[in-house]
Structure 1
Amino acid sequence: MQTVLIVVHLMIVIALVAVVLLQRSEGGALGVGGGSGFMTGRGQANVLTRATGILAALFFVTSLSLTVLAGFGHGQRSILDGNAPAGDSTPAAPAALPPKGEGSVLDQLRKIEEQKASQPVAPAPEAPTGPAPPRGQ
């Protein structure tokens, strides 16, 4: 059923593009829409406008139908209930936050920054003390 609906949907899309391209350009934005053409009369313009509206409505109906069909057979799932994907998906341990009720969020962030600042930091490796290498010319 879904395959048939996809084929119908594609045929509607192709027809919609063709009908839109057949319509007369009113602004002449690219300079190719004026003068004599394939279907330039008012009667033909009304037919093309009506066909565009009908094809657009069919496009929306088939799009919604495909969306509904894609949802069939899939029960309601939660991302929390599903299995974790393969690989290392364990999150890093968050910083210990003070218990709630001990000041505002800014106070809690300041305390965390103070805790990080009080921890010793490993010294950076020293740069070599030899002469600088010559630059290429």
Structure 2
Amino acid sequence: MFTFLLIVQTLIAAALVTVILMQRSEGGGLGVGGSSSGFMTARGAADFLTRSTAFLGGAFVLMSIALAAVAGSSRQPTTVDTSLVNQSAPASPVVPAPQQPAQDAPAVPLAQ
């Protein structure tokens, strides 16, 4: 359930970023010209993008609250393992350092 809500939240966030970037800073919305009647005029596009931004922003906030509620309710209580509290750590074995051959010893050729 949490994974599904997280994917939906990601899609809403991507759509919200896209809609915000499509708007003009002056509020013109897409900069679409054309006839004064119709849905996608400059004013119609600005209204559509503004309403889309408001809807997606609200959906993003609601999904964030839902994700926090699901994460909080599905959380398992933490447990501490106390079975090793009174045991001492085993002594680590001492490993001797490898011995280096003497420098003046003649090298022994390998048999072929």
For this structure pair, what is the TM-score category when the shorter chain's length is used for normalisation?
A: 0.5 to 0.7
For residues 54-89 of structure 1, give each alpha carbon's deviation from its aligned partner in whole angstroms, at most 9, with x where no partner exists.
000100010000000110133678xxxx75xxxxxx
What is the match of residue 48 of structure 1?
A: 49
**Amino-acid identity (%):** 44
TM-score (norm 2): 0.55
Q: Could you tell me how far apart the structure 2 residues matched to 1:56 and 1:73 are?
A: 26
Q: Could you tell me how far apart the structure 2 residues matched to 1:40 and 1:13 are?
A: 26
Structure 1 residues 57 and 68 mapped into 2: Cα distance closer, same or farther (>3 Å)? Answer: same
TM-score (norm 1): 0.46
- In structure 2, stretches of 5+ residues that fail to align are 33-39, 81-112
What is the match of residue 116 of structure 1?
A: none
Q: How many residues align?
A: 73
- Superposed counterparts of 1:84-99, under 5 Å: none
Check the 8 A contact 1:5/1:66 in 2, yes or no: yes
What is the match of residue 22 of structure 2?
A: 22
Amino acid at match of 1:37: G
User: RMSD of the alignment, in Å?
Assistant: 2.8
Structure 1 residues 23 and 44 mapped into 2: Cα distance closer, same or farther (>3 Å)? Answer: same
What is the match of residue 68 of structure 1?
A: 69
For residues 2-52 of structure 1, give each alpha carbon's deviation from its aligned partner in whole angstroms, at most 9, with x where no partner exists.
11100000000000000000111119xxxxx8xx83577111100100000
Bigger relative contact order, structure 1 or 2 (CA pairs below 8 A, ≥6 apart): 2
- In structure 1, stretches of 5+ residues that fail to align are 28-32, 84-137
Q: Could you tell me how far apart the structure 1 residues matched to 2:25 and 2:19 are?
A: 12
Check the 8 A contact 1:23/1:48 in 2, yes or no: yes
